[in-house]
Each structure stands twice: as C-alpha cells, then as structure tokens.
Structure 1
C-alpha cells in the first residue's frame, strides 16, 4: 500500500488529478491494473487514500512544532503549515476531509487543530465553528490560488502584474460614485501578494476567536 500511495501522490504532484488513473499508476509501479484493486476498490478510494498519505507529512510537521503558552499562536502556526503544503499540492483541496473513514491522518490533523481550542474558554459549538472557520480560510484560499491559471499566463504572453493590472485599470475607469470601494482598492489589488492576503484573512479570523474567548 505504501508504494501504491507514494506513486499515486507523485502522479498527482506531476500533473494533477487527470494524471492519476489506474492504468497510469500500474505503469508507474510496473505492474498490472488488477494489482491496484488489491489495495483500493475504486478511484474515489484511491484519491482519498492518496490525499491522506500526503496529509500524513503535514501531520508529522505539525506534531513536530513546539507549542507555546498561547493556543491562538499555535493555531496560527498550524494553519500556515497546512496552507503552505496545500499551495504546493492544490489537488489536496478537493479531497481533504472528504472521507474520514479512510483518512485517518486528516482526522488526526483536524483533531490536533481542534485541541488548541480546548485551551480556550469556549462552548463546544464555538470550538466547532472556530475550527471550521480556520480550516475554511486555509483550504478555501489555497483552493482559490490553485484554480486553473489563464492560458495567457501559462504561455507567458503576459505576466501576473500585467494580468492583474488590466482588471485594476477597468475598475479605475468605473464611476467612482457607484463603485467607491473598488476605486479605493484598485491599486492594492493590482500589486497584492496572495500569501499576504491569506495571512491577513487568517489574522482576522484568529482575532475574532481571541475576542470570543476573552483572551
């Protein structure tokens, strides 16, 4: 199973979800397609287990991080670790926590994050909402960054600055009385850094949690 999942993750890393087929996986392993069915019953299970295999590395990294006296600071470190890993492997966003019956690493990572909220004065519902919000910010933002890149960017016909600049220029041309917010943030949008934007969203989420917990 270890060899099967390692090869599956490698295919996903190389070319995304479309690259992971039973035929391609069998060829990578130098075996027949029928052999794969000894380990997984269908493609959905293969994707779920491959995702969990990759999450195992993230869990190891999180478990190896030193804790602090501040659970919210520890939550920040965990969230950033998960975000950076998913940005490197955008295919994870579609399958993370999709089936915890087979995704033991994912469930343990979720538990590890949730345990930090046990250190705060919150109700069970507040803890559930807090962890859902943090995971949502991490996975949602990473999924957005991993969305299909426009072909003109892939081809190198335009760079990111020029691509974003087009939209910013359009926004600046709009009626300022009708779109005052868009006018004000057009320059910020044109030169924004995606990771910085994620960190800002995470800080807003954690600041709300800190207020709710009264710390």
Structure 2
C-alpha cells in the first residue's frame, strides 16, 4: 500500500493591525466608504469580525487609521524630498503629494475634512506650518498662512476627487470635460459671459497644473504680504 505524503501546512500570516489597515485601504479604494464593513473586511482577510475587533474598536477608528497610513507615507516623502528645497518648493511638493494622495484615494479628502483634531490632518498642518516658518512669515500671520494653504489643498483636492466620481460608467475624464466645456459654450451669453469665454480653457486644462498655479497665487500673496513694497521708496 502506497504511503501518502503529508503536505506541509500553509503558514498564514498572522492577523495584525497593519494587515487590517492595508486591507481596509484596498476595500475603500475599490468600493468606497459605504462598502467598508467589518463583515466585508473579515471576508477579505479570511477571518472573523471578532478577530478584527481585537485590533480596532470600530469603523471610525479604522477609517482614521487608514487615512493616517496614507498621509504618513506622503509626509515621509515630504521630509526626504524637500531637505534642500526652498520653502516655496517644499510647500509645492507637499501640496502636490497630498493632492495626488486624494486623487488616488478619493475617500481621504472626506476623512481629512471630517476629523480636524486627529492625527492625519495634523500631520499635514504641522508640515505646512514648518515650511511657513522657514518661509519667514511673521508669527502672528503663521496660523492664517498655514490654514489658508491647508484649506486650498483639501478643497481643490477633494473637489477634483469628487469630479472623478461623477463620470458616467465607461466615460473618460476627457469625454466628461469636453461635454462640460460644450455645455458652458452653449450658455446664455448675457447671463454667463465669463463662463462662456473660458469654456475652451476648461477643455484644455490639466488638473495638477491648475492646482499648482492656484497654489502659486497663494504663495505670492503670502510673500508679498510679509514684504510689502514701500510706496515712499524710490
């Protein structure tokens, strides 16, 4: 009688908070916040919901941890890539990193705006504040400068992500923008003269380029405000 060779047991990777957070990010990216349930997460991890509760207490904590994981990566990149950069360059790099993170993970924009006192948004605010200080902004104006930059980044980044979600199935961004530009061009010329006039600019614009252009306007305002031109100087 032939002997059966016993297959070695497959050693599963132990369940950890990091694995849970990574799985949650994957679920959020593919299906959105509404699909993030402990049941769905347990199926993805091949475990029971009770095992997940051992590491996180609920959905709010999990969403915060997932957001923090993505933002922490962005902040790490900011620290390593801006060591020798000017303050303006550092702010541009940081802002674009957060913009791209929101674009890749659209649910992050909502989470950052929803929890202003928690660590993900504080990471961004802290890094912006340090760059604002390096820029030489006087202390009384530092909060306003950092807050204005933060609000711009979250506002434009979140709107860009929201626009991406309103595309109809099988409709590309280019098709969506072209359709919107065509609609603008057909507006009443007396009621919407400006909007009609920039319809072609909407059609041809690049989101990241426009984002950086707006950021530069804010940075110019900050630096001009702290170093106003003396009207009495020659």
TM-score where L is the length of structure 1:
0.85
Provide structure 2 residue ranges, at least 5 long, that are not aligned to the other structure.
1-16, 229-234
Q: How does 1:17-36 map to 2 (within 5 A)?
A: 17-36=33-52
Tell me if 1:59 matches 2:75. yes
Task: Give the conservation status (yes or no) of the 8 Å contact 1:56–1:106.
Answer: no
Measured in 2, the distance between the counterparts of 1:100 and 1:165 equals: 36
Tell me if 1:193 matches 2:210. no
Provide structure 1 residue ranges, at least 5 long, that are not aligned to the other structure.
none
Aligned position for 2:166: 149
Task: Give the conservation status (yes or no) of the 8 Å contact 1:83–1:138.
Answer: yes
Shift of 1:87: 0.9
Q: Which has the higher contact order (CA 8 A, sep 6+)?
A: 1
Which of the pair has more CA radius of gyration?
Answer: 2
Task: Give the conservation status (yes or no) of the 8 Å contact 2:72–2:123.
Answer: no
TM-score where L is the length of structure 2:
0.79
Measured in 1, the distance between the counterparts of 2:86 and 2:225 equals: 15
1:142-162 per-residue CA deviation (whole Å, 9 max, x = no partner) reads 2112112232xx234xx5444
29 and 85 in structure 1: CA distance in 2 versus 1, 3 angstrom threshold = same
Aligned position for 1:202: 215
Tell me if 1:212 matches 2:228. no
Equivalenced residue count is 210
Aligned position for 2:14: none
Shift of 1:115: 0.6
Aligned-CA RMSD value: 2.3
123 and 196 in structure 1: CA distance in 2 versus 1, 3 angstrom threshold = same
1:165-204 per-residue CA deviation (whole Å, 9 max, x = no partner) reads 3443343344434433123212112222222221211111
Q: 3-state DSSP class of the match of 1:39? A: coil
Shift of 1:163: 3.5
Measured in 1, the distance between the counterparts of 2:143 and 2:97 equals: 20
Measured in 2, the distance between the counterparts of 1:112 and 1:164 equals: 34
